[in-house]
Amino acid sequence: MVERAESESRKLLGRLRDTMASQAAGQERLDQITHLTADSMGTEVCSIYLFRDDETLELCATQGLNPESVHQTRMKLGEGLVGRVARTGKVINAADAPSAKGFRYMPETGEEIYSSFLGVPIQRLGEKLGVLVVQSKEAREFSADEIYALEVVAMVLAEMTELGAFVGEGAALRARHTQPVLIRGVTAQEGTAEGHVWLHEPRVVVTNLVADDPAKERARLTEAVENLRISVDQLLAVASGDSEQVQVLEAYRMFANSKGWMRRMEENIDRGLSAEAAVEKEQSDVRARMLQATDAYLRERLHDLDDLSNRLLRILTGQGNKTGAALPEDPILVARNIGPGELLEYGRQLRGIILEEGSVGSHAAIVARALAIPLVINAKRIQIEALNGDHVMVDGDQGVVHLRPDDTVVNAFRDKMAMQAKAQERYASIRDKPAVTLCGKTIRLDMNAGLMADLPSLESSGAEGVGLFRTELQFLVRSQMPKRTELAALYARVLDAAQGKRVVFRTLDIGSDKVLPYMAAEEEPNPALGWRAIRVGLDKPGVMRMQLQALLRAANGRPLSIMFPFIAQYDEYRLARAEVDKAVAREKKLGHTLPEKLEIGAMLETPSLAFASKRFYEEVEFLSIGGNDLKQFFFAADRENERVRRRYDTLNVSFLTFIEDIVARCAATNTRLSFCGEDAGRPVEALCLAAIGLHSLSMRPASVGPVKHLLRRCNLDDVRKVIHDARDAGEQSVRPAVMEYLRGLS
């Protein structure tokens, strides 16, 4: 029985292959496939429904229903049995369709005489393309073999659709990857960019779906799987020190050695598929099942399966990551996700980055900010929709991607970029001028940095120094711990490039969303509130001591500013400061040149430190408010959570009052205070921070010009009065009142 089913399946696939090879037009090919399928399965009806838009299915070909209903009959996603198959991605097998749940009668098709119904989704790697249906007058359920046969036809239809085999008139038969697409994601790095798509991992295209020699295809599959297993074992051997990577690769090995996985692919081959098509069908089937799972662990394993299947497909097809395509002159990188090391290899040649996943605090986001490259994350379906070379526009300010934009969008986007460029020219004219307000207050504007590549921006941006140099990037992009001599040489180059301007080095800020690839990851229920930053440094002081020694040697007699991250209480600062004193004593004993001036500060990122004793404020030499973390803890709103992170305004009265209290405490003890974070680089927020007494701000280089431009046009006394009046009036946020004040300036 199985052999007969396999033989019939191979026979049908052979006839489908002939249809694919024909020179027929798209509609004619669809018509031929419905005839072939109905004939092979012994049914009176075979119909193909394809999506004309995200919510609407259209009858595109039929054998057995009224031919005049083709391209006329349409239904919404979830409507009728066909709509249910499309929505759920699950097979519906009904012996008595009219009595089945959700049945919808379509009189124009003439289907009322048919009882049994079998519908399977036409989908490719999770992308829903349509529904394939067979019907017959006899009231019966279709067998497992018949369901399988129809699924194979649906898979062939999906691949042929991807390859453009059914292009014709109407929305449902339009060519794929040619229409404009708007994708809404999340801003991870602001800025705008126009360019052409460069896929970090190009899609594998399967062109040989059908094979005549199952034994040969089985042998090809066996050899490819063996090569896959060897490569996974080799990767495991290299990754032995990285627990997170080991965990992923162990999942790879589990899949690669799964007998059930191999058996199902071999069965696909026996039924007439090529080795490549067998792998892709199994990938699609498992993907469909796992997407229905409620278990978060199972859904996470879906990525492992996809990566493994794609590796196997590349082995079988010979289509590696290097396709021979040339990197465009204006590349916009598109990927599911990407590590910091890989991103740094691309460097500043990228115009923009679009990730299907990611987070605002991810390693990729940190590097993108350091390189000032616009980045949009959580751009769903971008990998499915985009092809290498596609025209794309990235609006990092709004978190929007325009793929293959039409002329209207292109013109509007270019107008926006031209306005930004014109504004930059205006900012360039005040680059060397101080940020002096109309009331005579001078605001110090520093820049944030994390790579040597950032340092040229120190002069071009007009920043007065580096208010925050993130030292963790040098640790994150390496596969092993950097040596002290390497760090000392790097820090020395940073100070050289600064040409005497102040650079504040923040010591290693790891943990939470920044896990070193060569350190064991700690499983924590809430990493942002867990073992991170100074807590790691004090519990494992070896790395901190090595970094402090490297900084002291890099200074080589020059002034040096060191800042400790995530200090939550006075005692942590005291202990960290004691480590500096030990390092200084050791360097002095070794005869090394000590810094001309050494100042030690802390980042105020937790509300607790705002209420530390007066003794702490007297002892610490400078403080920098870490606005990103402080705001999320103040409002109890995770900045990685899109549902809540935009809910709370920096210009909320309670938050500004809290910041004012910190300003007052620092003024009372004559402690230098600055504000560092995304909000420091937003002109309106920066203006309000300056108005309540923060006269030192640190931001990304591109923000220095816009912030300085606004500050030079405003009177801080007036702005402070607007803020206090809004607070006295019981307003929740001062933003509306401040915006009204700014409108009055123009």
| Tens of pLDDT, residues 711-729 | 999 999 999 999 999 999 9
pLDDT at 665: 97
Q: What b/e string do you get for 388-417 counting C-beta neighbours within 10 Å, with b at 16 or more?
A: bebbbbbbbeebbbbbbbeeeeeeebeeeb
- The CATH code for residues 181-202+323-419 is 3.50.30.10
Percent of the chain with pLDDT over 90: 47
pLDDT at 2: 38
| Candidate CATH numbers 3.75.10.10, 1.10.274.10, 3.90.850.10, 3.90.330.10; the one for domain 214-317 | 1.10.274.10
The domains of the chain are located at 8-163, 181-202+323-419, 214-317, 430-744
Residue, of 193 and 177, whose pLDDT is higher: 193
**8-163 has which fold?**
Beta-Lactamase (3.30.450)
Residue 519 three-state SS: coil
- The CATH code for residues 430-744 is 3.20.20.60
Question: How many CB atoms within 10 Å of residue 15?
Answer: 18
Active-site residues, by number, are 363, 676
pLDDT at 1: 35
Query: What are the residue ranges of helices labelled H in 373-478?
Result: 382-385, 407-429, 457-460, 473-476
Round to whole Å and give the CA distance between 389 and 381.
17
Q: How confident is the model at residue 512 (pLDDT cuts 50, 70, 90)?
A: low
Give the pLDDT mean for 670-682. 95
pLDDT tens-digit series, residues 472-510: 877 876 667 889 999 999 999 999 999 999 999 999 987
pLDDT at 469: 94
Beta bridge partners of residue 443, listed in sequence order: 435
- What dihedral angle (degrees, nearest 10) is formed by the CA atoms of 276, 280, 286, 291? 160
pLDDT tens-digit series, residues 146-161: 888 888 888 888 888 8
pLDDT tens-digit series, residues 305-340: 777 888 888 888 877 555 556 789 999 999 988 877
Cα 112 to Cα 67, 135, 136, 264, 654, distances in angstroms: 15, 11, 11, 37, 66
646: tokens are 């935009």
Dihedral angle sign, alpha carbons of residues 322, 325, 329, 335: negative
Give the pLDDT mean for 378-383. 90
pTM for this prediction: 0.71
Nearest-5° Cα angle at 112, 106 to 113? 155
Beta bridge partners of residue 380, listed in sequence order: none
Average pLDDT over the chain, rounded to an integer: 87
Rank 106-120, 247-261, 486-500, 517-531 by mean pLDDT and report only the highest. Answer: 486-500
Place of tokens 């009904």: 94
Res. 3: pLDDT tops 50: no
pLDDT tens-digit series, residues 545-587: 999 999 999 999 999 999 999 999 999 999 999 999 999 999 9
